[in-house]
Amino acid sequence: MYSLWTSIYDRGQDLSCSTATLEESDHHPDQKETLMTLAVEATALAKRYRGKGGEVDAVRGIDPAIPAGSVFGFLGPNGAGKSTTVRMLTTLMTITSGSARVAGVDVAADPDGVRRRIGVALREAGLDPRQTGRELLRLQCRLYGLSAAEAVARTEELLRLVELEDAADRNVKGYSGGMKRRLDLASALVHRPEVLFLDEPTTGLDPASRLTIWEEVRRINEQGTTVFLTTQYLEEADQLCDDVAIIDDGLIVRQGSPAALKDELGRRRGDGIAPTLDDVFLDATGRSRARVAGDVQEVRA
């Protein structure tokens, strides 16, 4: 059987960044002594919003464990709690209960330590419209402690990486959605983070721009950065992620590699038809194809 950890484990070898460790299980009898580092680990992580309209339990106790060096996909229907989880892990929001460590650092105890080790690109591609791409990256470099000279060099490097050299001196206001996402991604990389958080990095992008972002994510990951991404696109998760977790109504309902999850569903159904990650998603969130497709009645016999 495809092991959850195999691909990640192999890549995890040359990573020395994180400090959290986990005893390797009996999946790898030959590698029993090796320790595996975790880039993100949480225990009973929960978030309760208190507002005028009452309380919302957006995240209700989740325990993700993400090996260093992997690409992790966080899936779930709208309002499931994906962004809330990302905002807690990136120190943007307080944790209601439970705990989380990112790159070996406790999020609640040392938020600044976490901020130094992570890169963040959120769904809105929040960028300052009145700066040029180049100015924005340089500022970002300075905020992460690079000297003025280092900032200049790193900015040029990143502009090349995300292919924005030609637009570098234009105000961000005039950028297309795809250009903004690429700039946002570059700005999350100024300090070569250990863990990169991407909240819906490709939502609203055309297929070509989406592929460009995928390539960037792979390249970043190959250089050793752990990637935590949320997405609405199951194909994206299937293509990019070593592991996925499906969250529904604040709880993780499935977790594993896309292949393992599809296998499991295929075996359970026993109808000989290979399920897609879509099927896994629908199965896990209790939504049937018949219900989702409505009149089309796209039910597999």
Residues of this chain, 40-79, that bind ligand ATP according to CB under 6 A: 49, 51, 56, 58, 76, 78-79
Determine contact, residues 133/83, Cβ cutoff 8 Å.
Answer: no
What separation in angstroms does the CA of 281 have from each of 200, 208, 288, 292?
A: 17, 25, 10, 12
Q: Is 144 among the residues that bind other proteins (CB under 8 A)?
A: yes
Determine contact, residues 227/72, Cβ cutoff 8 Å.
Answer: yes
Closer to Mg ion by CB, 60 or 82: give it: 82
Tell the smallest beta-carbon distance from residue 67 to other proteins (Å): 23
Q: Could you tell me the two tokens for 283? A: 């199965």
Alpha-carbon distance of 279 to 281, in angstroms, equals 5
The residues that bridge with 254 in the sheet, in sequence order, are: 246
Q: Name the nearest CA neighbour of 170 among 136, 220, 205, 139.
A: 136
Q: Is 130 among the residues that bind other proteins (CB under 8 A)?
A: yes
Tell the smallest beta-carbon distance from residue 109 to other proteins (Å): 15
What separation in angstroms does the CA of 156 have from each of 53, 147, 213?
A: 48, 14, 19
Selected from 145, 174, 204, 286, the binder of other proteins by CB under 8 A is 145
Selected from 129, 177, 204, 286, the binder of other proteins by CB under 8 A is 129
Q: Could you tell me the two tokens for 253? A: 């309902």
Q: Is 135 among the residues that bind other proteins (CB under 8 A)?
A: yes
Q: Is 85 among the residues that bind Mg ion (CB under 5 A)?
A: no
Q: Name the nearest CA neighbour of 181 among 116, 132, 124.
A: 124
Q: What does the per-residue mask of binding to other proteins show for 76-95, with x meaning CB under 8 A? A: -----------x--xxxxx-
Q: Is 83 among the residues that bind Mg ion (CB under 5 A)?
A: yes
Q: Is 81 among the residues that bind ligand ATP (CB under 6 A)?
A: yes
Alpha-carbon distance of 87 to 49, in angstroms, equals 13
Alpha-carbon distance of 186 to 163, in angstroms, equals 10
Closer to other proteins by CB, 152 or 253: give it: 152
User: How many residues of this chain interact with ligand ATP, rule: CB under 6 A?
Assistant: 12
Alpha-carbon distance of 101 to 107, in angstroms, equals 6
Closer to other proteins by CB, 144 or 281: give it: 144
Q: Is 127 among the residues that bind other proteins (CB under 8 A)?
A: yes
Q: Name the nearest CA neighbour of 164 among 216, 126, 219, 206.
A: 216
155 binds, among other proteins, ligand ATP, Mg ion, none (CB under 5 to 8 A by kind): none
Greatest Cα pair distance, the chain, in angstroms, is 64
Closer to Mg ion by CB, 83 or 202: give it: 83
Q: Which among 7-15, 20-28, 61-69, 75-83 is the span making contact with Mg ion, rule CB under 5 A?
A: 75-83
Closer to Mg ion by CB, 91 or 230: give it: 230
Opening angle at CA 216, ends 212 and 220, nearest 5: 175
Closer to ligand ATP by CB, 145 or 286: give it: 286
Footprint of other proteins (CB under 8 A): 87, 90-94, 112, 115-116, 118, 120, 122-131, 135, 139-140, 142-145, 171, 184, 187
Footprint of ligand ATP (CB under 6 A): 49, 51, 56, 58, 76, 78-84
Footprint of Mg ion (CB under 5 A): 82-83
